[in-house]
Chain A
Amino acid sequence: MNTEIYKLGEELDSFNYQEVQDGILAILEKGCSAVLDMTACNYVSSTGLRVLLYTKKMAASKGLKLYLVGVSAEVKDIMDVTGFDGFFDTFDTVEECLQQIQ
């Protein structure tokens, strides 16, 4: 499966969501699944959570995937209590992700 990696910065919120969303959608447009490297990210806002789920659903509608990688404990906790965690396949590292999905 063709995949491309998108690397997130420290935060995903309403200030940068458009750029991130466009970036992920561009990967999907190419017919590639997206690996979202969240290793550096320590905060995802309500807007950010929706970007993740929206792009995941867009991927699914094209028969593609969105994988989350390196989700920090803080972000994992937010996703857990708000119920967004249940929608995603997550991996600790990009290497692990690429290996597993082959």
Chain B
Amino acid sequence: MPIKSIKGCIGCEECIKSCPTDVIRLNPDSKKAEILYPEDCQICHLCRMYCPVDAITITPDKSIPVIVSWG
């Protein structure tokens, strides 16, 4: 996984706004950020750098889906 977890989120939405590829969204119930589209993470760390409480963990690996003949 590229962006791995968000722990201790305060719901400020900085990471949501700063993600260039729209990977993170605000959970309407918990009002906290959640990782919704991790496959589109480009591992640029902008979300982590904008997070004021250091809640985001990112790893350098990316599991690329296997190639299929249609999908």
Genuine A/B complex = no
Interface residues of B (CB under 8 A from A): none
| A residues adjacent to B (C-beta < 8 A) | none
